[in-house]
Amino acid sequence: MRMRNYISMSIIFLCFCFSCQNNVDKSQKIWLHRANDIEKAQYFQDKYSGLEIDITFVDSLQTFLVLHGGGHVELSPITLEQWFDEIWTAKQMNLWLDFKNLNNNNKVAALNELNRLCSKYKVKKGNFIVESWNASCLTAYKNAGFQVSFYIPNFKPQSVSKTELQKQTDKIRRIISENNLTTISGYYYQYQYMRDSFPDKDVLIWYHLSDTNIRNEYIQIANADPKVKVLLVAEEVPADYID
C-alpha cells in the first residue's frame, strides 16, 4: 500500500512539474525565436503566444521576404504573404518582426506593404512589434498603430570599459529621446544593463541558446519583471517529427 501511494504521489508530482513547465512556456511573455521556417512555425504556433520572424524588404519586388541574412543560410526564402498563408493562427497571435534592412529609402513602401497585409489578413496592427536598429524610421510605424522597438547596439556591458559603457548609454539615451521611443530590445546578457540604465523603458530580450537552465532562469526573470514585455526563446522541431 505504501509503495502504491508513493508511486501515485510521484506521478502527481511529475504531472505537476510538467504542467508548470507548460504554463511557463505558454506565458503571454514567452515567444518563439526565429520562426522563419514554415514547418517550425506550424509546429510551435499553438505552444507560444507569439512568434518572431526576420523580414527583409526587397525593393525590386516591393514586398518582404522572410529572411535573416548576415551569414544565415536560407536557400528558398518565402514572402511574408506566403508565410501568412501557411500560418493561419498568425492572424490572431502576436508577431515580432525583426526588420533587417529598414531605412529611409524603403520605410514608406515597406509600411504600405505591411498595411496591405494587415488589411488582407485582418490582423490587428497592435499585435505586431516592428523592431529595427534604425530608430528614426520607426516613428512612421508607431504612428500607423504598430508596436515598435529600438534594437540597441550589440555589446556585452560587463566586458567593456566604464568609458565605453557610458558612451553607449549616452548614445542610446539620445536616440530614444530624439525619436520618442518607449521600448528597447537586446540580447539576454544586456537585460540588467537595460533595466539599470533605462528603468522607465519597456524591454524585449531573447535567449537564443540551448542551455535549459539559463533559459528557465530568464523565463522566471521575464515573468517576474513587469518591464519585460517579451522574452524570445529558442526551440527546434524534434528530429522525429512527421507532419
Segment 83-122, tens digit of pLDDT: 999 986 656 789 999 999 999 999 999 999 999 999 998 8
Q: How confident is the model at residue 9 (pLDDT cuts 50, 70, 90)?
A: very low
Phi, psi of 35 (to 5 degrees): -95, 35
Query: pTM of the full predicted structure?
Result: 0.87
Q: What is the DSSP letter of 159?
A: G
Which ranges of the chain does DSSP label H, i.e. alpha helix?
A: 2-25, 38-44, 80-86, 107-121, 138-143, 162-178, 191-197, 212-224
Q: Which CATH architecture has domain 27-233?
A: Alpha-Beta Barrel (3.20)
Segment 158-174, tens digit of pLDDT: 999 999 999 999 999 99
Domain residue extents for the chain: 27-233
